């Protein structure tokens, strides 16, 4: 079994925000335990910025907030973070291999295949890949990144069977334990719905950029790609082995969906940000959802936002319900001009499809 284990900044740092070696020692010991019983493991780690701050005298209250400085700090911290992983893995006779990824690696097919090939070969060589977002050059990953989504995409990339999202709580609870002492662990989720997302709440700690909401979002991606996900406490003894073996109460288990989303549609649904919205009539929605048709200009009744060809857009009904996402072949200006027109009424040279069915993903 291939297991992807993700650990966040809040679980890797101590009270003053510095990277905690004991936390890495615990994680690596459990990785070694999985390796000893025949499993392959990919670590997805946060902590580059946290590892760099003390070296630059920017720890705790002096933590900078501007993206440019954070990028520079991450460049300083990444080597220090990886050195710790290398040293600790070596005590178990294991070799770590650094892999830095950015969103572009999941959006451009050639880069996606290169990333898959590298990670696959590292696993074949017996290496433990240690993956992090490429903070030093990826603005979006610093601004929005929490590594949870990255971990879910990596799990799909290496065709993992299990994604373990390690955090500082036992899993998804029925309520915020800080406000409700009766809050209990939700041990299994079959389908992530709006109620589950609402329970997850907002972002996490000051030092960590994630939180339960991002873990639920990552588990949702995982479920769509046929990978079982477990949200569990990084402090739990034997958490990785328990997650592999399906021990009851290990955390919140999110079961995979019956239908797996392919790589291309996964990019469209989760790796590419939406640049706008196209509103379609009921007939067009029915053709898209029930008959697996492409979207034609005739079914478009509204255009919201500014986007160009090949940008990702949401599809919505007139009452605002978003039901799909796809890559448009028409920019917003052209689509505004030709919306509602039948194919036979389009001028020569104007493409007949707004979104081809191969570039369209239905959302729950």
Task: Compute the CA torsion angle 344, 291, 152, 128 (nearest 10 deg).
Answer: -100
Per-residue confidence (pLDDT) for residue 129, from 0 to 100: 98
d(CA 160, CA 230): 13
Per-residue confidence (pLDDT) for residue 16, from 0 to 100: 73
What average pLDDT does range 247-276 have in this prediction?
A: 83
**In the chain, % of residues over pLDDT 90:** 56
225 closest CA partner among 46, 30, 2, 31: 2
What average pLDDT does range 120-126 have in this prediction?
A: 97
For 159-183, the pLDDT digits (tens) are 999 999 999 889 988 887 777 777 8
151 closest CA partner among 101, 82, 81, 187: 101
Higher pLDDT, 104 or 300: 300
Find all residues with CB under 8 Å of 235, minimum gap 6, and list them: 11, 26, 168
Per-residue confidence (pLDDT) for residue 336, from 0 to 100: 94
196 closest CA partner among 168, 174, 163: 174
Higher pLDDT, 265 or 246: 246
* pLDDT of 142 over the 50 cut: no
Per-residue confidence (pLDDT) for residue 207, from 0 to 100: 43
Strand partners, 314: 277, 325
Domains and CATH numbers, the chain: 2-265 (3.40.1160.10), 273-362 (2.30.130.10)
Per-residue confidence (pLDDT) for residue 140, from 0 to 100: 53
* pLDDT of 158 over the 90 cut: yes
What average pLDDT does range 306-316 have in this prediction?
A: 93
Per-residue confidence (pLDDT) for residue 206, from 0 to 100: 42
What average pLDDT does range 77-89 have in this prediction?
A: 95
Per-residue confidence (pLDDT) for residue 351, from 0 to 100: 86
**In the chain, % of residues over pLDDT 70:** 93
What average pLDDT does range 45-49 have in this prediction?
A: 91
* CA dihedral sign of residues 133, 137, 143, 144: negative
* pLDDT of 204 over the 60 cut: no
Q: How confident is the prediction for the chain on average, in pLDDT?
A: 88
């Amino acid at each position: 079994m291939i297991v992807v284990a993700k650990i966040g900044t809040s679980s890797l740092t101590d009270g003053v925000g510095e990277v905690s070696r004991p936390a890495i020692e615990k994680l690596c010991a459990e990785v070694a335990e999985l390796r000893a019983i025949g499993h392959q493991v990919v670590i997805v780690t946060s902590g580059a910025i946290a590892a760099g701050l003390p070296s630059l005298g920017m720890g705790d209250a002096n933590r900078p907030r501007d993206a440019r400085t954070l990028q520079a700090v991450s460049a300083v911290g990444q080597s220090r973070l990886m050195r710790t992983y290398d040293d600790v893995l070596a005590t178990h006779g294991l070799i770590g291999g650094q892999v830095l990824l950015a969103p572009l690696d999941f959006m451009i097919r050639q880069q996606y295949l290169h990333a898959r090939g590298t990670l696959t070969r590292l696993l074949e060589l017996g290496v433990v890949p240690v993956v992090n977002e490429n903070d030093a050059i990826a603005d979006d990953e610093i601004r929005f990144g929490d590594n949870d989504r990255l971990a879910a995409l990596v799990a799909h990339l290496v065709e993992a069977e299990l994604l373990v999202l390690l955090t500082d709580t036992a899993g998804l609870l029925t309520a915020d334990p800080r406000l409700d002492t009766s809050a209990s662990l939700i041990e299994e989720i079959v389908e992530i719905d709006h109620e589950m997302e609402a329970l997850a709440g907002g972002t996490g700690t000051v030092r960590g950029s994630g939180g339960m909401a991002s873990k639920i979002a990552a588990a949702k991606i995982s479920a769509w790609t046929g990978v079982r996900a477990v949200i569990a406490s990084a402090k739990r003894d034997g958490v990785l082995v328990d997650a592999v073996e399906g021990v009851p109460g290990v955390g919140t288990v999110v079961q995979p969906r019956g239908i797996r989303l392919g790589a291309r549609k996964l990019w469209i649904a989760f790796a590419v940000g939406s640049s706008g919205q196209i509103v379609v009539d009921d007939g067009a929605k029915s053709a898209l959802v029930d008959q697996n048709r492409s979207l034609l200009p005739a079914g478009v009744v509204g255009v919201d936002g500014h986007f160009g060809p090949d940008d990702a857009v949401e599809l919505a009904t007139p009452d605002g319900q978003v039901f799909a996402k796809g890559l448009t072949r028409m920019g917003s200006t052209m689509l505004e001009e030709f919306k509602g027109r039948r194919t036979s009424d389009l001028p020569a040279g104007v493409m007949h499809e707004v979104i081809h069915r191969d570039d369209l993903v239905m959302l729950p």
